[in-house]
A = this chain, B = another copy of it.
């Protein structure tokens, strides 16, 4: 299923095409799936004929937009050597904060909404693409860190996937569903940092070893 849903097929887009997709992103944030091809053409100052020539149809345009946004989000990796308790904690906090920042951005909310809608009508694979570039992509990025932590004797778990999913739950909690459903939840930088620290602390309480487990409880 999720084999090669274009996590990485660098489609070469001209600057002009990227500008068009950025216009789509903007409209998506403002109007959601209700955006019309006419509106896109107007916003991007291009003709509808060009849109169809470049992207095939409305669905192709949205797909290209999702992949374009995904290609912008790729984050850097971490140093898996020299892992001690402090470095592990910092990396986990970094992951958590980055993830919270992504899912709480208006762009992510808008794209996820569109993908969810389309997953309902089965009229495209936007949902799969978003999953592959979101939930599963960070899973693949985080798991090496977890396993390095285990190898260093800092974490104890059997199932890497299960451990990751727990971390995912501790970080995200109800944030994404609330935002998707339109709750007026705003996450500032300070709040994100605090949440990521809390989630990390909880995760280490659950999966840490003597050397990495927090001494104090977090109230």
Q: A148 contacts which chain B residues (CB < 8 A)?
A: none
**Chain B: which residue is nearest A109 at the CB level?**
B120
Docked Cα-Cα span, A117 to B113, in Å, equals: 6
| Contact flags A20-51 to B (C-beta < 8 A → 1, else 0) | 00000000000111100000000000000000
Enumerate A118-176 residues with CB–CB distance to B below 8 Å: 119-123, 127-128, 130-131, 135, 156-159, 165-166, 168-174, 176
Given A131-B183, A182-B131: A165 and B157 interface contact (C-beta under 8 Å): no
The answer, yes or no, to whether A61 is at the interface (CB within 8 Å) is no
Cβ 8 A contact of A180, one of B33, B119, B159, B218: B119
Q: A159 contacts which chain B residues (CB < 8 A)?
A: 219
Sorting the interface of chain A by its residue count into under 10, 10 to 19, 20 to 34 or 35 or more gives 35 or more
The answer, yes or no, to whether A18 is at the interface (CB within 8 Å) is no
**Chain B: which residue is nearest A28 at the CB level?**
B120
Copies of this protein in the complex: 2
Could you list which residues of chain A lie within 8 angstroms of chain B, going by C-beta atoms?
1, 31-34, 110, 112-117, 119-123, 127-128, 130-131, 135, 156-159, 165-166, 168-174, 176-178, 180-184, 202, 205-206, 217-219
Can you list 25 A-B pairs, Cβ within 8 angstroms, ordered by A? Answer: A1-B184, A112-B116, A112-B177, A113-B117, A113-B119, A114-B120, A116-B117, A122-B182, A127-B181, A127-B182, A128-B181, A130-B181, A135-B177, A158-B219, A159-B219, A165-B174, A166-B170, A166-B173, A168-B173, A169-B173, A176-B177, A177-B177, A205-B205, A206-B217, A206-B218
